[in-house]
Amino acid sequence: MLNKFQKLKKNIYLDYAAATPLDSKVQKAMKPFLSEAFGNPSSLHSKGREAKQAIAKARKKISLSINSKPSEIVFTSGGTESVNLAIFGVAGSIKENKKFHFITSTVEHDCVIKSFEVLAGEGHKTSFVKTDKYGMVDFNKLKKTITPQTVFISIMYANNEIGTIQPLAEIGKWLKLENQKRAAEKLPKIIFHTDACQAPGFLDLDVHKLGVDLMSVNGGKIYGPKQTGFLYIKEGLCIRPQIYGGGQERGIRSGTENVPGIVGLASALEFACINRKNESTRLCLLRDYFISKVKKYDGHILLNGPDETSSKVKGITRLPNNINLTVNGIEGETLVLYLDACGIQASTGSACESGTGNPSKVLIAIGKSASQANSSIRFSMGKSTNKNDLNKVIKIFFYLIKNLKNINTLL
């Protein structure tokens, strides 16, 4: 059945939410630190100082991108480590030998969900706040979930599977008032963390506007190097280190710094901010073009997550690069493999979930059945995506759906 569509001459990559290629300008910035400027930033000599200065410059650059102080940035090995440091860093900093209450949502990345399961195993109370059918955290439910024992709320900025953007600034504003009341009642402060790993390319990271105390960001999703990231830690916040040793990163994250990685991360974030506005506008148009084609195609294809082309969804609520569809009756993995055979790379949702055979937790959380969740596919666009390529993808995608449906009915 693939005869009609010989493999495309050019590969079309549509899995930018899982991994992005290293930007050539980022690579150029990193290069000296992979060879001649190899010094250990802790060394006193000139080679050491050169590396130390590069880190200071990167830290400054990042702080400008998120409107923080340079001293509020701690470099890590990526999104997962930043999130773990935030969660266990707060849990470990609680001095009294008491158990506390931690809140997150049902649509978080596994690095949050799994960490919360560990917290629960350690005797803390945990709550997972439900979302609406678009994956938007139910703000009223969140407000009702807090108790006098609540010390931590973690809500992702934008969802990696269905692209839903959460109203962080609104939550941040409410928490600020709530914390003032709690201080008067001598209740513990509620610390607000966000997993912002999908956000930097499209959304404002100003930590003051968002009202967050902790923010996790990684480099591998923004055309920077993999295994790089940082945690923003608001000044004055007490975080227990998760890695002990030489006392690097103010003692919060020991180990010789990944100098080329840190330089690359800062450079990648800088470009993400510069390109943010234009890239968001460009990709929103492509996203909604794809979605409109899908709506016209009568193949029982459903959009998962918010639909900004619909009057029922108000404002900007979906990542510009995300399209997540349920194709009833066809397994997502089957589609991904056939598309790949045609030279198109898509995903069944979270890269971490795929291969396990388990339906996506996020799709289940927004009310999809297991079979609908298993029949889902995510296209995530990026720098190289253009309308011409998207037209080819749409054509092949619809052709595959039609033919795979026929195969299914034959079986």
Ligand X SMILES: *Cc1c(COP(=O)(O)O)cnc(C)c1O
State yes or no: residue 220 binds ligand X (CB under 6 A): yes
73-89 burial, b for 16+ CB within 10 Å, e for fewer? bbbbbbbbbbbbbbbbb
Q: Which tokens belong to 211?
A: 């009202």
Question: Would you please indicate which residues are annotated as catalytic (active-site) residues?
Answer: 352
State yes or no: residue 197 binds ligand X (CB under 6 A): yes
Segment lying near ligand X (by CB under 6 A), choices 86-94, 215-223, 259-267, 297-305: 215-223
Instruction: Tell me if 214 sits within 8 A of 192, measured CB to CB.
Output: yes
Binder of ligand X out of 20, 126, 131, 218 (CB under 6 A): 218
State yes or no: residue 267 binds ligand X (CB under 6 A): no
Distance CA 95, CA 264 (A): 37
State yes or no: residue 156 binds ligand X (CB under 6 A): yes
For the beta carbon of residue 38, count every other beta carbon within 10 angstroms: 13
Which is closer to ligand X, CB of 111 or CB of 233? 111
State yes or no: residue 264 binds ligand X (CB under 6 A): no
Strand partners, 214: 193, 233
Segment lying near ligand X (by CB under 6 A), choices 135-143, 184-192, 213-221, 303-311: 213-221
For the beta carbon of residue 251, count every other beta carbon within 10 angstroms: 13
Interface with ligand X: number of residues (CB under 6 A): 14
| End-to-end Cα distance, the chain | 16
Could you give the string, one character per residue 109-128, with x where binding to ligand X holds by CB under 6 A and - elsewhere? x-x-----------------
For the beta carbon of residue 309, count every other beta carbon within 10 angstroms: 15
State yes or no: residue 221 binds ligand X (CB under 6 A): yes
Burial (CB < 10 A; 0-12, 13-18, 19+), residue 352, is middle
State yes or no: residue 360 binds ligand X (CB under 6 A): no
Could you give the string, one character per residue 72-91, with x where binding to ligand X holds by CB under 6 A and - elsewhere? ------xxx-----------
Question: What residues make contact with ligand X under the rule CB under 6 A?
Answer: 78-80, 109, 111, 156, 160, 195, 197-198, 218, 220-221, 229
